Amino acid sequence: MKVVFLEPLGVAMEKFTADAKTVIGDRAELVFYPDRVTDVPTLIERSKDADIVVLSNFKYPREVIEACPKLKMICVAFTGVDHIDAACCKERGIMICNCAGYSTSAVADLVFGMLITLARNIIPCNEVVRKGGTKDGLVGFELEGKAFGIVGTGAIGLRVASIAQAFGCNVYAYSRTRKDIPGITYVSLDELMATCDIVSLHVPSTPATKGLINADNLALMKPGAILINTARGPVVDSEALAAALTEGRLAGACIDVFEDEPPLDPSHPLLHAPNVIATPHVAFATKQAFEKRAVIVYENIRCYLDGHPQNVVQ
């Protein structure tokens, strides 16, 4: 059995290799690559003899998978798996496992970091005070008493809901599966969009969620509302959101994810819309989250070798 780690996953290489060997032992040949290279020829060369490959959030397409005749399992060191050619894996009987849960706290932290930065005008305040200015025109708003909408009440959505409650927000939710959770009122997506002052997205990227947030339901939002997307880029129609912001129909947006992974095309509409705080898909990326993720990766492989795989998404 050969396990190929296609990147070091944000953990120091010495610790990464040592911990993997501790958990997996001599039950498999372990191959570690110290860099992240994502072109197809290199991925094929590195993966071609593997039984298991480990990667995070770069594309792993059909042409690579078909060049790996021994491949039995792909361990995705990420929550979403939409960058893996799942149809090809299904055809070839290849299992896909993910690392759900490692970034729950990290993502929720960034939601409120971005939100408070926007709500309290922290970036322009920082700029103006350095130029000898004052707070004039930069008075923001509090979160207490705001209607806070959560789209998707998985682990991250519920963590965000809990923090929103701690800030004194009234929490509403829309989700495919409704849960009986004190303090959360489930409503339709349209009602949530029309009711809430803040809407935070926490759904995966699937055919059903592509363009879930579009011109029609953006038009339902309050003029002073804020949209937060730390989920997946395709969930939002970026052009429709940019138009709503440019026309002053929304107060602002906090965007960590886009249709493509950064670096972005400089012409991306959200980079030119007003009142947007944009980050380069960093919500999941903290030292602690990377360490948690590595532990889940090792355990996913160990469980697979034991014959009772965990975190199976396909």
Could you confirm whether 144 is annotated as catalytic? no
Catalytic residue among 232, 268, 293, 302: 232
Could you confirm whether 268 is annotated as catalytic? no
- HEC profile of the chain: CEEEECCCCCCCHHHHHHHHHHHHCCCCEEEECCCCCCCHHHHHHHHCCCCEEEECCCCECHHHHCCCCCCCEEEECCCCCCCECHHHHHHHCCEEECCCCCCHHHHHHHHHHHHHHHHCCHHHHHHHHHCCCCCCCCCCCCCCCCEEEEECCCHHHHHHHHHHHHCCCEEEEECCCCCCCCCEEECCHHHHHHHCCEEEECCCCCCCCCCCECHHHHCCCCCCCEEEECCCHHHECHHHHHHHHHCCCCCEEEECCCCCCCCCCCCCHHHCCCCEEECCCCCCCCHHHHHHHHHHHHHHHHHHHHCCCCCECC
Could you confirm whether 261 is annotated as catalytic? yes
Catalytic residue among 239, 261, 291, 299: 261
Catalytic residue among 159, 202, 268, 281: 281
Which active-site residues does the annotation give? 232, 261, 281
